[in-house]
Structure formats: C-alpha cells, structure tokens
C-alpha cells in the first residue's frame, strides 16, 4: 500500500503508547522523516462524535456488536480520509490503536467471534495494513495504577476483562511475529524508548 509506512501502537490503557508515539515522532522528524501521528477512535469531526458515543459512561453496558461496529465505522473513515492518502503521499504514520484493539477488546475482552471481527476489519480498512505493530506490554495492575481522572466507559470494566484483553494481545502477537514487536513497557521510559527505536530501525533502512 503506497510508499509510506504505517506503524501502529497497541496495549492496555496507561501502557505508554501516547508518550512513546510523541517521542518517536520527534526522533523521526529530527532525522528528516515526514511523520503524521494519529489515533483511534476519534479522527476528524465524525470520529470525535463516534468516540463520544463509544466512551460515554452514561450509556452503561452497550450491545457488544454495536460497539464493534462503531469502532469499525470510525476506522473505515480514518483509513479512507486520512491513512490511505497519507501513505500514498509517502508519510510515516504513527497510529495509537488500530484493528488489533478491536480484536483484543471486542474479541477477547467481550467474547465476540474473531473471524466475524476480522471480516468486519477487512471491510472497514480495505488494503491498508500496518507494516509494524508495537505492543507495549504492561500487567493489568500497572495499567490500573496509571489511569488518572474519571474513567471512561471502557476503563470502567473489571480486572477480568482486562486480563482477557491482555491475554488476547499476547495471542495476536504470537500469531503474527513478523508484524508484532512485544515490548515490556513497565521499565524506565528511556529504556522502553530505545527498544521502540530498535524495533522500527529495520523499516527505515534504505
């Protein structure tokens, strides 16, 4: 797909995705790369509206298929209106969450059928595929301890839910070792960051 690179960041809430993306964006830009950072859910005005629907705790428990479809709707628009054209323009895109979040949270967490979710992802994203997926791994306890402020609807789930999500990420990573890099994100920031840089270096060669 195009000339650019799509690098996605995955993990539990509080795993350090945003910080690592910011640091990596800066690191790449100082080396002359043309970088875009983005996130899901919530790209553009429509994405922001979908994000509000998804994370509004006032809705309480929402039908899990509805939830999966809303994430997919946001993703389809994000790919069509932003990711695909930026890749075609040769950009390096750093994306905070992508379809693995749906497989981990709605598939392993909620218990929706993985094959159906995969078919839905293919429908939503077409030929867009991540070149690399950085899974920043922290235990559930660490994730809980790092969540600040009022919890959104998803963050209010119990520990068992997040244990399933984490185990799901482990399975997804084991299934696609060429695409995934699993990085222990519990240690010092500089150490985690240097592992992230090492992981992306092979993509930059040439």
Chain positions contacting ligand TMP, by CB under 6 A: 13, 39-41, 71, 97, 101-102, 105-106, 154-155
- Looking at the Cβ atoms of 105 and 169, the one nearer to ligand TMP is 105
Cα separation of 141 and 120, whole Å? Answer: 31
Q: Are 136 and 192 in contact (CB under 8 A)?
A: yes
**Bridge partners, residue 121, by sequence:** none
128 φ, ψ (degrees, to nearest 5):
-70, 130
Provide the minimum distance between the beta carbon of 157 and ligand TMP in the complex, in angstroms, as a whole number: 8
- Looking at the Cβ atoms of 33 and 46, the one nearer to ligand TMP is 46
Provide the minimum distance between the beta carbon of 97 and ligand TMP in the complex, in angstroms, as a whole number: 4
Provide the minimum distance between the beta carbon of 35 and ligand TMP in the complex, in angstroms, as a whole number: 19
Provide the minimum distance between the beta carbon of 5 and ligand TMP in the complex, in angstroms, as a whole number: 20
Q: Which residue is nearest to ligand TMP (CB)?
A: 105
- Looking at the Cβ atoms of 34 and 48, the one nearer to ligand TMP is 48
- Looking at the Cβ atoms of 70 and 197, the one nearer to ligand TMP is 70
Dig out the tokens for 59 from the structure.
Answer: 């809705």
Residue carrying structure tokens 């389809």: 76
Dig out the tokens for 11 from the structure.
Answer: 């993990």
Residue carrying structure tokens 């070792």: 177
Mapping DSSP to helix (H, G, I), strand (E, B) and coil, where does residue 188 land? Answer: coil
Dig out the tokens for 105 from the structure.
Answer: 């949270």
């Amino acid at each position: 797909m195009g000339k650019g690179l799509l690098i996605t960041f995955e993990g539990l809430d509080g795993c350090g995705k945003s910080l690592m993306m910011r640091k990596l964006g800066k690191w790449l830009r100082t080396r002359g790369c043309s970088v875009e950072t983005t996130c899901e859910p919530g790209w553009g005005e429509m994405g922001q509206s979908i994000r509000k629907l998804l994370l509004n705790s006032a809705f309480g428990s929402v039908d899990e298929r509805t939830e999966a479809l809303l994430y997919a709707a946001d993703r389809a628009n994000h790919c069509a209106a932003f990711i695909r054209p930026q890749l075609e323009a040769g950009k390096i895109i750093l994306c905070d969450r992508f379809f693995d979040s749906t497989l981990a949270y709605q598939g392993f967490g909620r218990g929706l059928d993985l094959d159906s979710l995969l078919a839905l992802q293919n429908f939503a994203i077409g030929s867009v595929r991540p070149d690399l997926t950085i899974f920043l791994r922290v235990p559930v306890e660490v994730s809980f301890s790092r969540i600040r402020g009022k919890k959104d609807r998803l963050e209010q789930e119990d520990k068992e839910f997040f244990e399933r999500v984490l185990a799901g990420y482990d399975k997804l990573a084991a299934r696609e070792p060429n695409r995934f890099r699993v990085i222990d994100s519990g240690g010092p920031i500089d150490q985690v960051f240097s592992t992230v840089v090492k992981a992306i270096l092979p993509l930059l060669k040439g």
